[in-house]
Amino acid sequence: MGEKHLELVVINRNCLGVIETGAKLIRKTKMGAPRWDEIHSGENAPRPLYEKLLQHFDSLRGPDLRNLGERMEATLREMGVKLELPAHEAQRPWICDLLPQVFEHAEWNTIASGFRQRMQAFDLFLQDVYSKKQILRDAVVPIHPVLGSRNYQNAAVGLPRLQGAYLHLSSMCVTRDVKGRIAVKHHHFSHASGISYMMQNRRALARITPEIFEDVSIQSLADAPQTIVEKLRDSAESSVRDPSVVLLSPGTGSTVYSEHSFLARRMGIPLVQGGDLLVLDDHVYLKTVQGLERVEVIYSRMSDSWLDPLVFRSNSRLGIPGLIHCLRKGTVTVINGIGSQLADDRALLCFAQHIIMYYLNQRPILPTLQTYWLGDIDQMEMVLANLENYQIRSISGYEISDPSEKPATRATEEFIRQEVRRNASHFIAQPISADAVTVCFDKGKEAERVQDHMIFALRNGNNIDVFPGALTRLFESKPPFDDNSSPWTSKDTWVLTNGDEPVPPQPKKRMRRLREADVPSRQVTSRVAEAFYWMGRYLERAYHQAYLIQVIETLETEELNSAERKLYRPMWNRLLPPLETSAGTSRRSITNRVDRYRLVLLPEPGTVISTFRNAASNASSIQESLSPEAWATLSELLSRFERVKYRADLPEHECVRVTRKLSDAATRLIPQFFAIATGSMLADDGWRFCAIGQVLERAIITANSVVSISKSIVRDDSKAEPDRSSEIELSAFLRLLGTRDAYRRVYQMRAEAIPVLEILWQNTQAPRSVLRCLQRCARQLHESSPSDTLGTTKAISAIEALIKKIKGINWSLYVRSQDDDETPAQKKANVKEEKTHELEPLLKELLDSTLEIHTLISDAFLSHQAQISQGVQTVVS
């Protein structure tokens, strides 16, 4: 942050002075272009709108101001407001300036009507170019920028739309040109991004500096998300009663994922990704742990081209195959309408005026910023000759990425020139003087920024409502090609009410405010539940493996002699948890120090690090569902693993040190994660599936381990004396399963086959007993499944059947008891010879039944195979 501060000083020093033009003040900045001054009307003379605000901040001392700024940042962080930058830093703190941007009532009315006019005109334009194409036939707009645009979607022709309209929730970027007029810089009709930031800025500023809100009358932004979802429901309601709406997000890869998550939460609708939805019989369904639920309206935050791999990019894994077909059949709607992205094509900015005149027969209320299409060779040469005065932007999604990008350096300019010459028709240019200069507070000091404003509007039947506010974006210098890749900060944006006029009452009639009782229990989608489930399983697996390594390390160095080591080693390998696929299992070995080092750190399947990474990647896909404390524990462990790199040539004693260090961290932090999560998280369906994964994995590990020692349990018993080596082996075995202490407490005797089998399979209290794990698993499933679908019932009854079977096993039928009272002859008589041979098959069968529980849970709750294959069978018959 220190660096940023330095840069600011430089900007100030490079201010080239102040030019008066009439009564207006225009600053000439380091970018070499004169600009409108938003805040001042003369040297140090604030405009009346800002007078009081500046006075307020002037009255604060530097440290106080700095302190306020820090509190602001902390507040926004607490609120979870984030903007993720893909190429640069992973996550940047969201910054909202202390000084708000203010719009007067009258000027805002003009902006709002200009927005309405444009949105109406472009909706009519979309309706036309996706049907009769009259505007092209009449040659008002050339054919190429429309039909040749990569955002023109043939698949959109003839698709039904919500209320016949393409645009429902739209955005536009406006700016003040050098004369102080508001002009339209860019259309974001198809994709309104930033509403949550606009709202969060208001909330944060009101919390940090409530005093500046006194004595001003600002139009309220509250409930924007609810208004949006109400309108979506209303417009769909003609066809469906109480339609179900979901917000479709590309997932955590999106730079504005925190917005998706905020909006979905405030709208009270599920936040879903492509994999959460499924097409069956021409309808779209949401996969939840409660079963499949019909979806009628999709509020999409994804580009058209990713929506359906059957129609658009065939490599899209984010989309829903078959979605477009459901749209065609009218069983679902997507807003904004498929194909609307065409309206955002920057090449069309040049024709906005004609489009408005053509469809509405009106003059544009808001001018469009001077925009040059560089496909025109004269315009291109003119722009390239004065490149420093222009902002070059790509027309639609065509991205320039220059890894070495630094604002306004020679190298970047060269790079732009090359790109523009190579693909001129992909670019437009706008004068950089378009953005006004404003003032913000950075680290308690006044600093200069240039700004533009993102404004938002929502269709309301035939009308369009513009939200009275904006996301004002501040840039330190001219923004590079892609807004998302350049660091920017923001301002809360006030729209004043008309002093004389009372604030129009909000239309209360249709607003259903969600009461606590009405809020549907948080639906957990199957994807989220599945991520939780695998997180639980992988964490338990990683824990167990690290624990095994730790114990064996201790046993080897402290307790066992070399003969004993030789005896146990084969067993140790068999104690490794089974993997889902057989790949790599044979190579895993735990028997010597270097092997154990490899087993901890080698980046291949089945090692502690890769198992833990699997857990962590599942966790990060559902990070917003985890409590920050729980997440912190996981990321601590992850960073410990990431800090150490596997080295094939590491000396043995170093291997031991690293192995110990990492397995200690894993066995300490994983249980800590479960404890913290249980204590700090909502015990909803998601978390329950983590617990289910954990106990099921544990049951599988125990069941698998017991199979591995079945041979030693039924070992040759011709010796009358109790088998000493067998006892040591069983005792070590219990220790490796973390059950030796529990065994001693329960039986208070040395380790013998039957009680060992009992404590590992049938005990209801021992931590790792299969029975106890399965009982916990069944309990959790009962809690999360009130619906009596066939799959659910099948899964639960299978677990219960297995529990019953386990309870009924009499181990003494399979194992010779070591009762001292009996003579060898009696022993022989007691035991039915053939039964001892059946122990191993029995244990294997039990293991298989335990493994089968996974498939049943997955079919019933996660992949819905149970329900779907049932559905399909009825279709066939």
Partner 1 sequence: MIFEISHITHYTYGHQAAEAYGEARLTPPNLPSQKVLSHSIMINPETKTSSYVDHYGNKVQFFSLPFRHKKLSVINQMVVETTPVERPMESLELSVQEVRQIFSSALTDIFDFLQPTEVVEIGKEAVQWARKYLRGDMPLGEGLQRLNEAIHDSFDYKKGSTDNSTSLSAIWKEKRGVCQDFAHVGLSILRTAGLPARYVCGYIETDPPKPGSKALVGAVATHAWIEVLVPGMAWVAIDPTNRQWCNERYVAVSFGRDFRDATPLRGTFKGSGGQLMNVKVFMKRRAERPKG
Nearer to partner 1, 312 or 568 (CB): 312
Nearest distance from residue 610's CB to partner 1, in Å?
17
Nearer to partner 1, 157 or 206 (CB): 157
Host H or E run for residue 560: none
Nearer to partner 1, 216 or 310 (CB): 310
Nearer to partner 1, 219 or 863 (CB): 863
Nearer to partner 1, 154 or 386 (CB): 154
Distance (Å) of CA 14 to CA 8, 413, 617 = 10, 20, 47
In whole angstroms, what is the distance from residue 535 CA to residue 525 CA? 15
| Closest CA relative to residue 579, chosen from 619, 642, 537, 618 | 537
In whole angstroms, what is the distance from residue 46 CA to residue 542 CA? 63
End-to-end CA distance of the chain: 68
Nearer to partner 1, 571 or 868 (CB): 868
Nearest distance from residue 283's CB to partner 1, in Å?
10
Nearer to partner 1, 114 or 337 (CB): 337
Nearest distance from residue 823's CB to partner 1, in Å?
56
Nearest distance from residue 17's CB to partner 1, in Å?
51
Nearer to partner 1, 155 or 669 (CB): 155
Nearest distance from residue 316's CB to partner 1, in Å?
9
Nearest distance from residue 331's CB to partner 1, in Å?
10
Nearer to partner 1, 64 or 282 (CB): 282
Nearest distance from residue 329's CB to partner 1, in Å?
7
Nearer to partner 1, 16 or 157 (CB): 157
Nearest distance from residue 341's CB to partner 1, in Å?
17
Residue 482's identity, in one-letter code, is D
Host H or E run for residue 614: helix 608-621
Nearer to partner 1, 137 or 421 (CB): 137
Nearer to partner 1, 155 or 742 (CB): 155
The residue whose two tokens read 């004993």 is 564
In whole angstroms, what is the distance from residue 500 CA to residue 411 CA? 55
In whole angstroms, what is the distance from residue 399 CA to residue 233 CA? 36
Nearest distance from residue 861's CB to partner 1, in Å?
15
Edge-to-edge strand ranges of the sheet holding 34-36: 17-21, 24-28, 34-36
Nearest distance from residue 482's CB to partner 1, in Å?
23
Distance (Å) of CA 668 to CA 505, 547, 557, 611, 633 = 58, 10, 21, 16, 10
Beta bridge partners of 18: 27
Q: Quick check: helix, strand or coil at residue 44?
A: coil
DSSP at 349: G
**CA dihedral in degrees (277, 333, 280, 686; nearest 10)?**
20
Nearer to partner 1, 55 or 314 (CB): 314
Nearest distance from residue 660's CB to partner 1, in Å?
35
Query: Up-side HSE of residue 390: CA atoms within 13 Å toward CB?
Result: 25
Host H or E run for residue 539: helix 526-554
Read out DSSP for 181-219? -EEEEEEESS----HHHHHHHHHHHHHH-GGGGTT--B-
In whole angstroms, what is the distance from residue 288 CA to residue 351 CA? 46
The residue whose two tokens read 């913000």 is 440
Nearer to partner 1, 219 or 865 (CB): 865
Nearest distance from residue 156's CB to partner 1, in Å?
9
Count helices and strands in the chain by DSSP H and E runs: 28, 25
The two three-digit tokens of residue 496, written as one number: 């004043």
Nearest distance from residue 380's CB to partner 1, in Å?
21
Nearer to partner 1, 194 or 322 (CB): 322
Nearest distance from residue 82's CB to partner 1, in Å?
30
Reported in sequence order, the residue ranges of 581-657 that DSSP labels E, i.e. its strands, are none
The answer to whether the beta carbons of residues 690 and 780 sit under 8 Å apart is: no
Distance (Å) of CA 279 to CA 41, 206, 276, 410 = 59, 45, 10, 52
| Closest CA relative to residue 440, chosen from 12, 76, 21 | 12
Nearer to partner 1, 280 or 728 (CB): 280
Q: How far from chain centre, in Å, is Cα 683?
A: 20
Task: Work out whether the CA dihedral 618, 621, 622, 626 comes out positive or negative.
Answer: positive
Task: Work out whether the CA dihedral 9, 14, 17, 22 comes out positive or negative.
Answer: negative
In whole angstroms, what is the distance from residue 737 CA to residue 731 CA? 10
Nearest distance from residue 814's CB to partner 1, in Å?
36
Q: Exposed e or buried b for every residue in 13-24, given b needs 16+ CB within 10 A?
A: eeeeeeeeeeee
Nearest distance from residue 703's CB to partner 1, in Å?
25
The two three-digit tokens of residue 806, written as one number: 């386990």
Nearer to partner 1, 35 or 537 (CB): 537
Cβ neighbours, 10 Å, residue 549: 26
Cβ neighbours, 10 Å, residue 557: 10
Residues that bind partner 1 (CB under 8 A): 133, 136-137, 143, 147-148, 154-155, 157, 278-282, 309-310, 314, 321-322, 325, 328-329, 863, 865, 868-869, 872, 875-876
SS (H, E, C) 681-724: CCCCHHHHHHHHHHHHHHHHHHHHHHHHHHHHHCCCCCCCCCCH
Q: Peptide bond before 336: cis, by omega within 30 degrees of 0?
A: yes
Nearest distance from residue 276's CB to partner 1, in Å?
13
Nearest distance from residue 858's CB to partner 1, in Å?
10
Nearer to partner 1, 382 or 868 (CB): 868
